Structure 1
Amino acid sequence: MTWPDFGNLPEWIAAGASIGTLAVAFFAAQAAFKQVREARALREEQARPFVVVDFDLNPQDTFFFDIVVKNVGATLASNVRITFDPPIASTLDDSEQPIRAWSWFHDGFPTIPPGKEYRAIFDNTAARYQRTDLPRRYDVTIEHDGPTGREQPLKQTLDLGVYYNGSVNALYGTHHIAKALRAWVKAQGVNGF
């Protein structure tokens, strides 16, 4: 029995090794391209603005809720629009300017720089608890532009009920110390302080 002639066997082995090397290089290039694409997407995601809305207890007086709008992202947010469903309402709306008339909710914010926070008194905690005709839960939609154009709208659910289902620890700061010191000085009859 005679073996067929395949030519020079070392050349065939070298050709096979070259094809194998080419295949490995092709798959390595595909993996590298995928990693570069994912790294770029991650950089873009980390560099975008991220505007959130929240209710928070007022740091100086826990008898009030604040509404907070903050850009926690890394770049400037522009043309920021905030929509509440149902429309936002407060027990303090009996004043001459109800909360839904604030420019925050009909004009929006022209720009919010990274880290910038807007905070305002929203409601009285006890009065809000007493009023069953006002919603405690809101669906909020936040729309804004980023460096590459209009961002995907962010949808949040804000629930004031979480504040009524537990206890609140009072936090005292320099404002409270100064207030107590003024009261003590007045009680001591010291003038000019």
Structure 2
Amino acid sequence: MNTENWIAVGAGIVALVAAWVSYTQARHARAQTLAALEQVAIAHRQLEQAEAVHREQNEPYVIVDIQPDGPGSSLLVLLIENIGPTVARDVKITADPPVTSASGDNLTERLQGAMSAAIPMLPPGRRLKYAFDVSSRRFASDLPTAFRFTVEAKGPFGDVEPMEYLVDISSWRGTLRGERPTGKLEDALKSIAGSISDLSEAYGRANASAIRMNDQDALDRLRQELDGGSSGT
């Protein structure tokens, strides 16, 4: 092989090495580009998640429930309450089936009127309470005991995702009169009376001798007064 051929072979080898280096560098650059794009995508997802959490934490949260008006009460009430941190606006509530009362058509009209009208503003912590029914009449009737309430509202970021609540009042059957409104007060007074009785007995035992002497002194004075009165007569 002459010199020219060796030169040509060397040039070919150099070209192959250069091509391999270029290919390796291109693959490495492509891998770096893909890694950078993946990091951008991850950062974008994290940003979206952070925004979603921030929005959820700062949106109103309107709930609907039916429950007794208080311990021992037979009156069931419909509650609408904003337990979220911000004002709920244009609150709309629908019920399936429509709310009805076994305690008179007038009460049914009031309930349906309240449900059909949008609530312009419901601040955080605000609770609206409507008389719903008397438990004994409700459970003695054929009216439904389960309702699906759908709540739509607007918050500081616009429309809030609609919320659904399945409320079944049959769980309150037979439990509404379990405790009188004054039950806790009566129990506390009984406890105080028992403590006073125990204290009185303990005081009597500890001071029995002094009490007997005091009683004897009083009896002696009474006898002296009676004897004095008899002598004077």
User: Aligned letter for 1:138?
Assistant: F
Residue by residue, what CA displacement relative to the aligned partner does 1:9-35 show, whole Å, maximum 9, x if unpaired?
A: 888766654443333222112111111
- 1:146 aligns to 2:121 (yes or no): no
- Could you say what secondary structure the match of 2:18 adopts? coil
For residues 1-193 of structure 1, the aligned pairs below 5 Å read 4-5=13-14, 6-7=17-18, 17-93=28-104, 97-102=106-111, 103-132=113-142, 134-164=143-173, 167=175, 170=178, 177=185
- How many angstroms does 1:53 deviate by? 0.8
Q: Which residue of 1 aligns with 2:225?
A: none
User: Aligned letter for 2:154?
Assistant: D
User: Aligned letter for 2:63?
Assistant: V
Larger Rg: 2
Contact persistence 1:80–1:110 (CA under 8 A): yes
Contact persistence 1:77–1:145 (CA under 8 A): yes
Q: Which runs of 5+ in 2 are unaligned?
A: 1-8, 190-233
Alpha-carbon separation, structure 1, partners of 2:152 and 2:177: 34
Alpha-carbon separation, structure 1, partners of 2:31 and 2:150: 54
Residue by residue, what CA displacement relative to the aligned partner does 1:104-135 show, whole Å, maximum 9, x if unpaired?
A: 22323211112222223322212211112x22
Deviates more, 1:115-124 or 1:73-82: 115-124
The structure whose residues are more often strand, as a share, is 1
How many correspondences in the alignment?
176
| TM-score, normalised by the number of residues in structure 1 | 0.71
- How many angstroms does 1:84 deviate by? 2.2
Q: 1:72 to 1:4 in 2, by over 3 A?
A: farther
Contact persistence 1:59–1:171 (CA under 8 A): no
Alpha-carbon separation, structure 2, partners of 1:110 and 1:79: 5
Q: Which residue of 2 aligns with 1:186?
A: none
- How many angstroms does 1:56 deviate by? 1.3
Q: Which runs of 5+ in 1 are unaligned?
A: 182-193
Q: Percent identity?
A: 25
The structure whose residues are more often helix, as a share, is 2
What is the RMSD of the two structures over their aligned residues, measured on CA atoms? 3.3
